[in-house]
Structure formats: C-alpha cells, structure tokens
Amino acid sequence: MFWWTFLMHLLKTESFDGVIVEIFQTESLYGLGNHFNCPVIGVTTFGVSQWTNVIANTPNPTSYNPNIFSPYTEHMTYLQRLHNTFIWWMEDTIWNFMNYPMQNRLYEKYLKKNGHSLMEVIKNVSLILNNQHFSSASIKPTMPNIIEIGGITVDPDVKPLPKDIKEFLDSATDGAIIFSMGSIIRAVQWPEHKREAFIKAFGKIKEKVLWKYENDTLPNKPDNVMISKWIPQRDILAHPNVKLFITHGGLLGTTEANYEGVPMLAIPIFGDQKMNMKMARDKGFTFILDFDNLSEATVTAALKRALEDEQIRIKAKEHSRLTKDRPMTPQELVVYWVEYVIRHKGAHHLKAAARELNFVELHNIDVYATYLALILLIIYAKYALIKYLLSLLMPKQIKQKSQ
C-alpha cells in the first residue's frame, strides 16, 4: 500500500527524464513514460523472453533459440526443437490471453493518457537492458535497442571478507568449496536424506566447505564444514583457495562464478536454471547433479569428478577471460545507453519498423497468400487451356474414326 501511495504521489507531483522498468509482467508500468513524456527503458534480469520479443520484435528462430523455461541449449535434436517450439507457443498464448488483458486493465484504470493504447505504449519502449552476455548465453538474432549488460551485478572491486569466513578460507590449504542454493531454495527445508547425502559426502573429502545454510546448527556437521546463514558470495568466489562452486544455477550466481573463473557443480531446480547450466556444461566448466537422484554415492562421485578434472578448471579460466574482455564495463555501458536514449529523446532510430506491422504483415501472410493464389491461378489456367485444346482435337479424331 505504501508503494502504491508513493507512486500516485509521483504521478501528480514529479517529472522525470527517463523511466526504468523491469520487464516481467509489468507492461502497464510502461505507461509511466507516456505520463511523464519521457523514454521508457526496460530491464530484463533473465535474458530474452516473449516479454522482450513483443517490445523489440526480435526474430525468434525456435530451431536454435531455446526458451528460458526450457532445459535446452542452442544445439537441439528434432524432438527438443519440437518441444522448444511448443514452449514458445505456450508462452506467446499466455502473454496474449492472460498477461496482456490483466496489464491492460491496470493501464486503462491508472495510467492511460492522450488516448494511447497499451500496445502502442509497449511498442514505444526505447531500450532493453538484457542481463546476459554472449560469452555465456546462446547466440541469437537481436536488435540495436537490446543492450547486453550481463555482469552488471558483479562489483569489479572485491571487498574484505568477514573475519570468520576469511580465516576459514585462508586455512583451506587443500582448497575450498562454496555451497549456496540462492535465497529461494533453502537447504534447511530439504528432505533429510538429501541433506545427509551432502553431509556424508563432505566428510569424505579433504577440502573445506562453506555452506550457506539457513540455521544456526547442522546435525552431524563434519569438521571441514562451516555453515552461515548469509555469505558475501561474490567476494568469497574471488578467494584464491576456492576450487568449486556448488550452485542451483541462478543467473546472478553463475555470472559471479564466471567472472572469477570458478568451475561449478550445478543442481538446477526450476526456471532458467536448467538451461543456464546445460549451456555452462556444453562450454566445459560445469558438471550437473540431478536433484531427484541425490544420494551419498551420487554426491561423492560428482565431487570427485569436479575436484579432480583439470579441464573444467582450464575451461572456467578461459571463460572468465571471455567474460571480462569488453570495451566497456557493464556499469559504464548502462550509464552510456541510458543517457544516449535521453539525449536523443527516446532514440526512435534504434527501433525496427516491424513494431508498426500487424501479425499478417509482419509474417508476410498476405504476400504468401498472394503468391499461392497466383500459383493456383496459373495451374488452373494451364488446366483450362489443355482442356480446351483437347476439346478442339477430340471431335476431329472421332470423325476420322467414323469414316
């Protein structure tokens, strides 16, 4: 209620040079740009999706562009392409028949101005800041007004670690493992047998383990394991003794590990995690562990493989160099492009003409229909001509036979 009251206050009293809105079921808020007569800049935290495609009219070849909610990479089999295309269709259907009507009601009630429809407002978004980088994501067609800012959340400056964590990692002369499943997936709520699988497997290795665990105590905790309800993950991954990052495969944690060149052992659960980790596996710096098949044996085997495989470390360092090799930092890139859009009053020259076309025009359905009609007309004309010529010849042949 506070935020809504605050927003209503802004609408009545303030003016702005630009509006930045997250792209994820927030289309009604794009109307803020129309209200304040300023450019709208969208931010997507998980890559290109149906929500961004609608804005920028991005080409979407489903044959090699995996949906973020699919478990595939850009290299798909026939059945995977079939499934991937179906997921894209479903996302498109949900957007058109559920998301858009709901957002339109909010827009019509609170933000409509100057008679502009919600679709006009959506098509008028000036810029999309996409939290991906081609070094980690699949390669796909894009538009000039989609700017990749993957790594924006990684602070180039490493901050000092808390004393207890620093001492623990400094003492890890055989190496350290960081184990964090993010903020949503809580290890304290796991089934006991899955938690025990990690406890027993960790007890068998010489490396030390820093585990983000949401409780003050962990029953049967081995001596080489330290638990903490919160860890400064980005700064910890920069510690020279860290050899492996056990993660759920979320985009932000993955980006931090990529930046520091730390190999990963992934346990993806939902959303974009499976796709993120399969891409990382294909690039050679990640192994994947199936959550449904967690046991002491599978965890032990996965740890042994990840800790002893030298190639996974080499690939992780190579990928780190690719991640960092840019003409501008993501932070500098964001500042430049936001100011660029404001300087050029929305930078409409970056937008594709496709946003002005309806579905039939965009996909050339009317053009293909015309060509099809012409082809059928030509075929029919040839058939009619042959039939006519045969009708002229047939009487003569009959007359000759009767004589």
The secondary structure of residue 71, as a DSSP letter, is: S
pLDDT given for residue 119 in this prediction: 92
The secondary structure of residue 315, as a DSSP letter, is: H
pLDDT given for residue 395 in this prediction: 63
Burial class of residue 325 (count of CB atoms within 10 Å of its CB; 0-12, 13-18, 19+): exposed
Give the CB-side neighbour count of residue 24, counting CA atoms within 13 A: 10
pLDDT given for residue 403 in this prediction: 55
pLDDT given for residue 272 in this prediction: 84
Q: Is 2-153+329-356's fold the same as 163-324's?
A: yes
Residue in this structure with the two tokens 């960790």, named with its chain if needed: 202
Residue by residue, DSSP assigns 139-152 as P----TTEEE-TTT
Q: What is the pTM of this model?
A: 0.85
Residue by residue, DSSP assigns 234-246 as HHHHTSTTEEEEE
Pick the CATH number of 2-153+329-356 from 3.40.1350, 3.40.630, 3.40.50, 2.60.40: 3.40.50
Nearest to 352 by CA among 57, 125, 121, 49: 57
CA distances from 124 to 30, 43, 114, 347 (A): 9, 15, 14, 10
pLDDT given for residue 398 in this prediction: 56
Was domain 163-324 assigned CATH 3.40.50.2000?
yes
Cβ neighbours, 10 Å, residue 152: 19
Terminal-to-terminal C-alpha distance of the chain: 102
Q: pLDDT by residue for the chain (403 residues), tens digit each? A: 667 788 778 888 888 999 999 998 899 999 999 989 999 999 998 877 888 888 888 888 899 999 888 888 888 999 999 999 999 999 899 999 999 999 999 999 988 888 899 999 999 999 999 998 888 888 888 899 999 999 999 998 999 999 999 999 999 999 999 999 988 888 888 889 999 999 999 999 999 999 999 999 999 999 999 999 999 999 999 999 999 999 999 888 999 999 999 999 999 988 888 888 988 998 999 999 999 999 999 999 999 999 999 999 999 999 999 999 999 999 999 999 999 999 999 999 998 888 888 889 888 999 999 999 999 999 999 999 988 888 877 765 555 555 5
pLDDT given for residue 275 in this prediction: 87
pLDDT given for residue 140 in this prediction: 84
Give, for 266, the enclosing helix (H) or strand (E): strand 264-266
How many Å apart are CA 332 and CA 338, to the nearest integer?
10
Phi, psi of 226 (to 5 degrees): -120, 135
User: The sheet that has 127-130: what strands, in order across it?
Assistant: 19-22, 40-44, 127-130, 146-148
pLDDT tens, 298-308? 999 999 999 99
Nearest to 67 by CA among 56, 57, 55, 53: 53
Domain coordinates in residue numbering, the chain: 2-153+329-356, 163-324, 360-392
User: The sheet that has 225-228: what strands, in order across it?
Assistant: 225-228, 208-212, 176-180, 242-247, 264-266, 286-288
Strand, helix or coil for residue 129: strand
pLDDT tens, 35-52? 899 999 999 988 778 888
